[in-house]
Amino acid sequence: MTPAAPARVFRGRTVRTVGGLSVRVDVRAFTVVALLLVAALTASVVLIGTGDFPISPGDVVRTLLGDGDAGQEFIVNELRLPRVLVGLLVGASLGLGGALFQAISRNPLGSPDVLGLGQGSTAGALVMIVLFSGTARQVTVGALIGGLVTGFAIYLLAWKRGVHGYRLVLVGIGVSAIVTAVNGYLITKADLVDAARAVVWMTGSLDGRDWEQVRPLLGLCAVLVPLVLGNARALRMLEMGDDVAYALGVRVERTRLLLMVAAVLLTASATAAAGPVGFVALTAPQLARRLTRSPGPNLVPAMCMGATLLVVADWASQRLFGADQLPVGVVTGILGGVYLLWLLVTERKAGRI
C-alpha cells in the first residue's frame, strides 16, 4: 500500500482581536497578497503614465493626490485612470469567479472560460450588436444577461439531486460548444460594419473604457466580494465533499447556489465591461495557489493575482507593441496558453498525466 500523504501543517500565527476572538493568519499567504497588491498598484501607476503623452510615475502619483497641472489632471483622471480601474476590477472579478468555480467543481478546469460563461456573455453582446445595432450600454446589458442565462442553463442541466463537479464541467463544456456555434452563426449574419465591431469586442479590450464602466462594476464588487468572503469557510468545507460539509452543518445546495450566482455575476459583469478576456479566470487561482502553497480556494490571493495579471498584460500590450498595440485579451490568451503548456509538461514529468 502507498503511504498516505502527510497532512499539511499550518504555518501561521494566531491573532487575538480586542473582542477576544482568535484569528489564524497564514503568514505566507498574507505575504503573497501584500506583494501582489504592491505589484498591482505599481503596474497601475506605470500604466497610467504610459501613452502618447508619457508621464513619470512621480508625476502620476502627485496628480492622483491633486497636485498635477491642468493637462495632467485631464489625462490622468479622465482618460487613463478609468481604464486602469476597469482593468483592476475586471481582473479581480475574473480571478475570484474562477476560484469559486474551481472550488465548487473541485476541478482546476472548472473555470468560466471552460464552462462557457464567457461565450454566453459574448452571445448576449452579439445579439445586441448584430440584430439591434445596440449602443455600448445596450451591448453591456446584453452581455450581462447572456452570462446570467448561460449560468442558469448550466446549473439546471447539471442538476441531479444536487450539482457535482465533473457533471458541472462536462455540461459546461457542452454548453460552451453550443453557444460558440451560435456566436459563429451571428457573425455570419452580420453586415461588414457590425461584424468588425463584434470581432473587436470578442477579443477583449480595455480601449475606450471610462467611468461609465467603472461605477457599476465597482458597485457590484462592493456587494459580491464581502458576500463571497463571508462564505469562504463553508466553501472550504464543500471542497472536502458534500457528506463532510453536511456533517459540519453546511447547507450544501443553498451555499453552492449562492456562490455560483455570485461567480456568474462576477464573470458576466467583467465580460460586459471588457469583453471576454481569456485565461485570467483559469490561471489566476492556480498561480495564486502555487505561490501561497495553501489548500482551499485562496479567494483573496486569486483576486489579487487576477488584477495584477490583467494590468500587467495591458501595460505589455501598450509598451511592447506601441501604436499597433494588441487588445489585452490577445496578450492574456498568449500568456495563458504558455502557462497551460508549461503545466502540461510539468505534470507529465511528474507522471500525473
| DSSP per-residue letters across 245-261 | HHHTT--HHHHHHHHHH
Residue 304: the pLDDT is 96
- Give exposure, 324-350, as e/b (b: 16+ Cβ within 10 Å): ebbbbbbbbbebbeeeeeeeeeeeeee
First-residue to last-residue Cα distance in the chain: 21
Residue 303: the pLDDT is 95
Residue 142 has pLDDT above 60, yes or no: yes
Compute the C-alpha angle 301/302/308, nearest 5°: 90
The phi-psi region of residue 6 (left if phi > 0; otherwise alpha if psi is between -120 and 50; otherwise beta) is beta
Q: What is the pLDDT of residues 85-125, one digit of tens each?
A: 999 999 999 999 999 998 888 877 778 888 888 889 889 98
| Whole-number Å distance between alpha carbons of 175 and 119 | 9
Residue 319: the pLDDT is 80
| Whole-number Å distance between alpha carbons of 136 and 143 | 11
Average pLDDT over residues 224-231: 93
Amino acid letter for position 90: V
CB 150 within 8 A of CB 119: yes
Residue 90: the pLDDT is 95
Residue 6: the pLDDT is 41
Residue 10: the pLDDT is 46
pLDDT category of residue 13 using cuts at 50, 70 and 90? low
C-alpha grid cell for residue 283?
490561471
The phi-psi region of residue 11 (left if phi > 0; otherwise alpha if psi is between -120 and 50; otherwise beta) is beta
pLDDT category of residue 310 using cuts at 50, 70 and 90? very high
- Give exposure, 106-127, as e/b (b: 16+ Cβ within 10 Å): beeebbbbbbbbbbbbbbbbbb
